[in-house]
Amino acid sequence: MAREITVLQKLDHLNIIKLEGIATSRMQYSLYLVFDYMLSDLTRIIARPDQRLTEPQVKCYMNQLLLGLQHCHERGILHRDIKGSNLLIDRDGTLKIADFGLANFFVPKPKRPLTTRVVTLWYRAPELLLGATDYGVGIDLWSVGCLLAEMFVGRPIMPGRTEVEQIHRIFKLCGSPAEDYWKIMRLPTSFRPPQHYKPTIKEAFKDLPPSSITLLSTLLSLNPSYRGTATSALQSQVTFNLIRSGPNFN
């Protein structure tokens, strides 16, 4: 919690939940973090059975999410658990990134090993599943890619039950890694997919707008260096020049 408080104190952005205060309980020896009340979260909005998100709504939420992540990454902070339930929505449709319990600071040099036990399984990047301890902003961007598709289709796109099943789902959707992938990533695992998979993103999401498919393919690149940054994603056709206010929930 001490690290979470330190992280939150370094962040000040419209699309990031603001730490308003800290309360203590002498009776229970407990510490409470105080935040603004938020009406809903992205998971609940996506799961509404009678109301699928429109393309402008998806673009608006993507824009806000990427702006918040851009602020985090520029300050050397990885969120490490981007998922719908951690993206809170207020009555005016403003999205705020919340729950920085797994967040940590990262610096390109000198590099230090980080734990792989981060990010909820369905949104966990392949390098984490394969044991990488040297990673950066790419793990957050992978999660953003999963959410982009989820907002359009109305459900999680890779709901694996185990880490092994999750990596197989990833390879079936994104294709098997090229042979040089294993050399470039320097992964500590000897795992190899049992068969060669071809990428199926375009076929699986053929109903998505073309510009969204392009961004989705970038964010779900197996090599994290190909995912770009939050800044480059903001410059894509999906999010460029979008308004900041979202749908109204009054």
Locate 14 and state its tokens: 């419209």
Is 66 within 8 Å of 144 (Cβ atoms)?
A: yes
Distance CA 234, CA 66 (A): 7
Locate 160 and state its tokens: 């694996």
Options 81, 92, 99, 140, the catalytic residue: 81
Distance CA 76, CA 204 (A): 34
Distance CA 90, CA 207 (A): 29
Distance CA 60, CA 93 (A): 9
Distance CA 235, CA 8 (A): 26
81 belongs to the catalytic site: yes
Distance CA 44, CA 66 (A): 20
Q: Is residue 87 helix, strand or coil?
A: strand
Measured between its terminal Cα atoms, the distance across the chain in Å is: 34
Q: Is 158 exposed, middle or buried (0-12, 13-18, 19+ CB in 10 A)?
A: buried
Active site residues: 81
